[in-house]
Structure 1
Amino acid sequence: MIWGIEFSSEKFLPTLPEDCQLDSGRYGFELALWLAQALNRQGIVTGYPSGEEWAWFLDYEPSEELSLAICCASCCGARAGYDGRPIGWSISIHDRRRMNQRVRNLAHHAELEALGQRIVALLRAEQIEPVQVRG
């Protein structure tokens, strides 16, 4: 299952040059770092942001039974974030079920929903209104 939020904001624009990004037009480190720090202040401890080719991830593993990945990515073209105007952002939460959980068809819908709603609340506290929430 994937739970997601899409919104537009100038708050998390890239600070380093385009050639320092994961890929052209692939931003999200600033969003992932802010989110990790904001969640930590609420007692939700994630890992530091780690980059993949298309996004930045936070690992959230509060127990042996629950492992989630929080993905932060831009939804824009190359160099769109450097003119100071808002760009589109996406935060998605992925359930990383272990093999034994898949076999038993165990999912963590309630946990994904709860974490997603906390992230929405954090964004709203920053006067960022999610455009679309999908769960």
Structure 2
Amino acid sequence: MAWCIEFSSARFLPTLPEDCQANPGVYGFELALWLAQALNRQGVVTGYPSAEDWGWCFDYAPTDDLRLTIACASLCKADAGYDGRPIGWAVSIREQRGLEQRLHNLSNHTALENLGRHIVDLLRAEHIDAMHVPPIA
């Protein structure tokens, strides 16, 4: 199961040139770093963001049997993040389940939803209207 939050903002536009990004038009470091730091200030300690071909992600693992991956990516074309105008963003949260959890179809939907709501609240505190997209199975 996954949660997805989408919004448009100029708040997290890339600061480094296009050739320093994960791929052309693939931004998200500034959003991922801000989000990891904002969560940490609220007592939700995460890992540092790391680059992927499609954006940036980091983990939140409050217990040995719960690990959530938070992914941040832009929803725009290459070079769109450099003109100062808002671009689309997506933050997704996916539970990483071990073999035993998958075999027994165990999931922690409550933790996933609580973190998703927490992220929406953090974005709203920045005056960003975030839209929650229905969960993906």
Q: TM-score range by the shorter chain?
A: over 0.9
Q: Offset at 1:55?
A: 1.2
Letter in 1 for 2:12: F
The equivalent of 1:87 in structure 2 is: 87
Q: Which residue of 1 aligns with 2:69?
A: 69
1:97 is paired with a residue whose SS is coil
SS at match of 1:40: helix
Structure 1 residues 95 and 33: alpha-carbon distance in aligned structure 2, compared to 1, 3 A threshold: same
Structure 1 gap segments, 5+ residues each: none
> After TM superposition, what 4+ stretches of structure 1 lie above 4 angstroms from structure 2?
none
Distance in 2 of aligned mates of 1:46 and 1:88: 24
3-state SS in 2 of match to 1:128: coil
- Displacement of 1:48: 0.4
Count of residues in correspondence between the two structures: 135
Match of 1:10 in 2: 10
Cα deviation, residue 131, structure 1: 3.2
Residue type of the alignment partner of 2:4: G
Provide the secondary structure at the position in 2 that maps to 1:61: strand
Equivalents in 1 of 2:89, 2:29: separation in Å?
11
Structure 1 residue 134: Cα displacement: 2.5
C-alpha distance in structure 2 between counterparts of 1:134 and 1:89, whole Å: 16
TM-score (norm 2): 0.96
> Where does residue 130 of structure 2 map in the other structure?
130
Structure 2 unmatched ranges of 5 or more: none
Range 57-66 or range 27-36, more displaced: 57-66
Larger mean CA deviation between 106-115 and 125-134 belongs to 125-134
Identity of aligned residues (%): 64
Match of 2:88, as an amino acid? G
Q: Are 1:3 and 1:94, in contact at CA under 8 Å, matched by a contact in 2?
A: yes
Q: Is the 8 A contact 2:3 2:132 kept in 1?
A: no
